[in-house]
Amino acid sequence: MRYLSTRASSGSTADRKQFCEILLEGLAPDGGLYLPEHYPQVDDATLTTWRSLRYADLAFEVLSLYIDDIPAADLKAICAKTYTEEVFGSQEIVPLRPLEDGLYLEALSNGPTLAFKDMAMQLLGNLFEYELARRGEELNILGATSGDTGSAAEYAMRGKKGVRVFMTSPNGRMSPFQQAQMFSLQDENIHNIAIDGVF
């Protein structure tokens, strides 16, 4: 699977990159977002077999359609490490609760910061740690938040080898709950910086 920038002007294959090439990059050099060169098609038979999978196994199956430069066994292990009862408070990871006949509510706020962003950020933290170790590199993340995005990022990166997070937030302009989530972290690689003013 190759990825290209939404702003890519040429059809050159040099513009296409593999997943791990863009994982630590953020935006493309031209300021665009990376998108898959094509979207895999999943047939009804595959969807039927996926219905019985545990969440971590389902995540692996879906992600493996988009990530082919991480060995399958490693990607499966990353998914198993990410989507656990210990992290998400439930064996189902994303429990479905019936509201009425044919209508369900999906719980996406069971992660460590009670935000739906934990679903992706927890995976991203493990992918970062894996790829940085593979490259023998380190990464500094500079973030700015006024709410749950910052705490989701910090909880995903806390304790990760090779990753340091410097998260700025507007002094006195976050809810006490969000501030407590972030400022109570004592991990050596997490640095909270409250600044006067807004951004």
Average pLDDT along the chain, 199 residues, taken 10 residues at a time: 87 80 91 94 97 97 98 98 96 94 93 94 98 97 90 96 96 90 95 90
What's the pLDDT score for residue 167?
96
Given a contact cutoff of 8 angstroms between Cβ atoms, the answer to whether 94 and 107 are in contact is: yes
What's the pLDDT score for residue 189?
98
Find where tokens 């969440």 sit.
Answer: 55
Give the pairing type, strands 190-195 and 163-170: parallel
Just list the catalytic residues.
117
pTM of this structure: 0.92
What's the pLDDT score for residue 199?
73
Cα gap 145→199, rounded to integer Å = 9
Given a contact cutoff of 8 angstroms between Cβ atoms, the answer to whether 19 and 66 are in contact is: yes
Q: How far apart are the first and last CA of the chain?
A: 37
What's the pLDDT score for residue 12?
63
Question: For the segment 78-118, what is each residue's pLDDT rounded down to a tens digit?
Answer: 999 999 999 999 999 999 999 999 999 999 999 999 999 99
- Residue 99 backbone dihedrals phi, psi, to 5 degrees: -100, -45
